[in-house]
């Protein structure tokens, strides 16, 4: 199953810092024929394409920058399956077709507040009705097979307080609120803040409106949780609508559960719960077969590996006969059954690309249906065998595509349907992207990509921006990157790689950093830089390194082990594993990287903390972290910054307002991140030509 939380590290100085010493924009404006930061503010995103049951129409979510409110706003658009009549439908997101294709359910802000469920009738004249008026936000909506009910997940508060006999406050007094009462290890969550006491459960509501009723209840959560972090809830209906199947964890030790999840059946009438999986593991991504007899799901049996690629399994709906049907050693996502029940379609991320696969339900084999250096995913499938998905490539931002898998035994075909960024990219010169490989220690092959400036001239040398991904179990891919194209537009060569620890290259490669992070990944990073330098067009006096989250871990590690980089932009890092264990919202992940807790053996914790190597650092370092970050919280950056200042290393700390983990969720902060990084890099070495204006390049 997809485990987004595995990419856990993925994204006044301050009072003494003099703003005039670090301009927030380049010395001169770039021409409109390059990918400027201004173009990012007109950039659009597409997501979640849902094809109608008869395959005739596709609804998708389209997001744009609200420049006045500094946020991304979402709208629903609809088009025919050939891409014609592409038009706005409604404000909202997460559309789902009713089984008969006459209605859609979707989420949008509603009354009294927060996210509510809406249903829109698609026949003319169209009519939209707000179905719920609940106090808590909802998600994970699914229609019942007969179209009479809609299910969803929702948080259920449960009061947990420490009662003491306080004297009555005088009338009109403004006493300080009571302290937060914490008894759980997981009492906070990035992008949410401090958790309220309560649990997430499934609910049902009549599709024409009414009062929602709880389908599950009790002191447990539906949905798989990695280190206590709430996410999407995987669930499905039985064919007769009398049972639902849901992923969750109903054991009493949930607060100390690192990543185990179970699959349950729930009786819709009584709420009776039954665990279906016999083997403990990380299970999720469930999908019921067309005949209603089997469940497909993904995951891996319980293990102590830091990373293990998921596979796809089948079992009978009573939990019997569980068997693995894939052995690809790569992570699948979005299981969709073939109409005849012969197998399942899914998307596989591998070696920086994503393509569509088919696995036979008999377990007889797996077939790749699409190929190409792109990121292609199948998101929904009509009964005709035609589906809707997303595709991006190095020079093409994500767009909606139609994917035809109807011809059994033949390769799938796809056609691009939308061109949402064509207006801003027409006449824009983009940097060409090339694949690069390197040989690292232990004969390890390392893959990466290079983005060249649009006006690249062979024989000339260019400054390098070396970006390191987070996770650590994540994967850089060949999808379009606004950030890297903007760096390239400013005259930088950009390098990004997948060192050991990355996903997409098998379990052994991803698990190579277990109990040793950072470790061999550093060797791989340096090998990639060496391979690029050997090509002769990188100015080795103007090489810069940066990364966020796990990339912050490694960029701070890099500058403590080499001085080959002229400057660094260390973003949202972990620099001290001992204090990280108490600071972060993912404490179990942190402890799992070491054989023993630090109070028993602090040596490995210290040996893998970049703070312990700050005495080696000579590299001018910019540190950037969100003020609200609960994943790699601000003290991690403050400790490193203070140590650099004590040593006299040129350093600055940027504390981003309104940001949790990462520095770019708000459009204006994405722009600031780009401009501050380039401004910092252009200061070092002090006598270097501005990267945005390399001599003779333009």
Give yes or no for residue 141 having a pLDDT over 60: yes
Lowest mean pLDDT among 27-31, 255-259, 268-272, 612-616: 27-31
Residue 689 has pLDDT above 90, yes or no: no
So what's the pLDDT on residue 28?
A: 54
User: What is the average pLDDT across 279-304?
Assistant: 96
Other C-beta atoms closer than 10 Å to the C-beta of 298 total 25
pLDDT value of position 7: 47
Q: Which region among 28-37, 68-77, 86-95 has the lowest average model confidence (pLDDT)?
A: 28-37
Name the pLDDT band for 30 (thresholds 50, 70, 90): confident
Contact 385, 339 (CB under 8 A): yes
CA distances from 558 to 455, 492, 538, 612 (A): 30, 20, 19, 12
Instruction: Classify residue 141 by its DSSP letter.
Output: E
Q: What is the mean pLDDT of residues 60-66?
A: 97
CA 605 to CA 601: how far, in whole Å? Answer: 8
> Which parts of 534-633 fold into alpha helices (H)?
550-559, 577-583, 587-592, 603-607
The answer to whether 653 and 623 are in contact (CB under 8 A) is yes
Asked whether the predicted pLDDT for residue 22 surpasses 90, the reply is no
Average pLDDT, the chain: 93
Question: Where are any strands of DSSP class E within 289-352?
Answer: 294-301, 311-316, 323-324, 332-337, 343-350
Higher-scoring residue by pLDDT: 423, 126? 423
Cα separation, 415 vs 61, in Å, equals 18
Helix/strand/coil for 219: coil
Measure the CA–CA gap between 606 and 12, rounded to whole angstroms: 31
Mean of pLDDT values over 492-505:
98
Per-residue pLDDT of 591-633, as tens digits, reads 999 999 999 999 999 999 999 999 999 999 999 999 999 999 9
Scanning the structure block, which residue is given the tokens 């973003």? 571
Helix (H) or strand (E) holding 676: helix 667-682
Please give the angle made by the CA atoms of 42, 478 and 397, to the nearest 5 degrees: 25
Give the phi and the psi of residue 488 in degrees, each rounded to 5.
-65, -40
Whether domain 431-682 has CATH 3.40.50.1820: the reply is yes
Report the Cα 372 to chain-centroid distance in Å.
Answer: 22
What's the pLDDT score for residue 20?
31
Q: What is the pLDDT of residues 506-542, one digit of tens each?
A: 999 999 999 999 999 999 999 999 999 999 999 999 9
Q: How far apart are CA 432 and CA 452, in angstroms?
A: 6
Q: Check if the beta carbon of residue 320 is closer than 8 Å to that of residue 278.
A: no
Residue-wise pLDDT tens digits, 432-469: 999 999 999 999 999 999 999 999 999 999 999 999 99
The angle at the Cα of 651, spanning 646 to 654, to the nearest 5 degrees, equals 120
């Amino acid at each position: 199953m997809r485990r987004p939380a595995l990419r856990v590290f993925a994204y006044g100085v301050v009072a003494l810092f003099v703003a005039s010493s670090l301009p927030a924009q380049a010395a001169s404006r770039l021409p409109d024929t390059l990918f400027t930061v201004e173009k990012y503010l007109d950039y659009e995103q597409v997501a979640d394409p849902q094809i109608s049951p008869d395959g005739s129409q596709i609804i998708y979510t389209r997001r744009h920058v609200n420049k006045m409110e500094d946020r991304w706003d979402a709208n629903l658009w609809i088009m025919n399956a050939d891409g014609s009549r592409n038009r706005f439908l409604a404000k909202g997101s997460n559309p789902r077709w009713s089984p008969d294709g006459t209605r859609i359910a979707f989420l949008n802000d509603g009354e009294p507040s927060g996210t509510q469920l809406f249903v829109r009738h698609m026949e003319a004249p169209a009519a939209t009705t707000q179905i719920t008026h609940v106090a808590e936000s909802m998600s994970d909506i699914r229609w019942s097979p007969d179209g009479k009910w809609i299910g969803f997940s929702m948080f259920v508060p449960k009061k947990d307080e420490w009662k003491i006999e306080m004297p009555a406050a005088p009338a009109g007094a403004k006493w300080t609120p009571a302290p937060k009462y914490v008894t759980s290890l997981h009492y906070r969550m990035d992008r949410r803040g401090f958790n309220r006491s309560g649990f997430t459960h499934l609910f049902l509501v009549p599709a024409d409106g009414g009062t929602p009723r709880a389908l599950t209840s009790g002191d447990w959560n539906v949905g798989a949780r990695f280190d206590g972090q709430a996410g999407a809830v995987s669930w499905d209906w039985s064919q007769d609508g009398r049972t639902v199947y849901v992923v969750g964890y109903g054991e009493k030790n949930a607060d100390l559960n690192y990543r185990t999840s179970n699959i349950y059946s729930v009786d819709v009438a009584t709420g009776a719960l039954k665990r279906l999986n016999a083997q403990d593991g990380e299970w999720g991504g469930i999908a019921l077969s067309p005949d209603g007899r089997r469940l497909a799901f993904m995951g891996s049996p319980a293990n102590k590996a830091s990373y293990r690629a998921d596979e796809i399994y089948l079992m009978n709906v009573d939990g019997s006969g569980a068997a693995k049907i894939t052995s690809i050693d790569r992570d699948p996502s979005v299981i969709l059954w073939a109409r005849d029940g012969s197998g399942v379609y899914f998307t596989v991320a591998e070696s920086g690309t994503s393509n569509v696969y088919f696995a036979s339900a008999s377990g007889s084999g797996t077939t790749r249906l699409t190929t190409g250096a792109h990121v292609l995913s199948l998101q929904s499938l009509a009964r005709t065998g035609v589906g809707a998905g997303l595709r991006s490539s190095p020079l093409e931002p994500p767009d909606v595509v139609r994917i035809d898998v109807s011809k059994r035994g033949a390769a799938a075909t796809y056609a691009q349907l939308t061109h949402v960024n064509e207006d801003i990219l027409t006449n824009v010169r983009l940097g060409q992207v090339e694949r690069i490989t390197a040989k690292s220690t232990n004969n390890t092959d390392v893959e990466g990509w290079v983005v060249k400036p649009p006006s690249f001239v062979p024989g000339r040398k260019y400054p390098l921006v070396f970006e390191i991904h987070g996770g650590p179990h994540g994967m850089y891919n060949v999808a379009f990157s606004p950030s890297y194209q903007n760096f390239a537009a400013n005259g930088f060569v950009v390098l990004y790689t997948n060192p050991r620890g990355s996903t997409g290259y098998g379990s052994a490669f991803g698990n190579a950093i277990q109990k040793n992070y950072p470790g061999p990944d550093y060797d791989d990073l340096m090998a990639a830089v060496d391979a690029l330098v050997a090509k002769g067009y990188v100015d080795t006096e103007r090489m810069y390194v940066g990364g966020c989250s796990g990339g912050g871990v490694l960029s701070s590690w890099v500058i403590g082990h080499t001085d080959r980089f002229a400057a660094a932009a260390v973003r949202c890092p972990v620099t001290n594993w001992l204090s990280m264990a108490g600071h972060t919202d993912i404490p179990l992940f942190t402890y799992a990287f070491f054989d023993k807790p630090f109070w028993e053996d602090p040596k490995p914790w210290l040996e893998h903390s970049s703070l312990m190597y700050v005495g080696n650092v000579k590299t001018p370092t910019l540190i950037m972290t969100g003020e609200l970050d609960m994943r790699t919280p601000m003290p991690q950056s403050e400790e490193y910054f203070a140590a650099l200042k004590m040593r006299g290393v040129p350093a600055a700390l940027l504390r981003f307002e309104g940001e949790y983990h990462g520095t770019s969720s708000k459009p204006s902060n994405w722009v600031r991140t780009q401009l501050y990084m380039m401004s910092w890099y252009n200061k070092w070495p002090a006598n270097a030509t501005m990267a945005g204006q390399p001599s003779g390049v333009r």
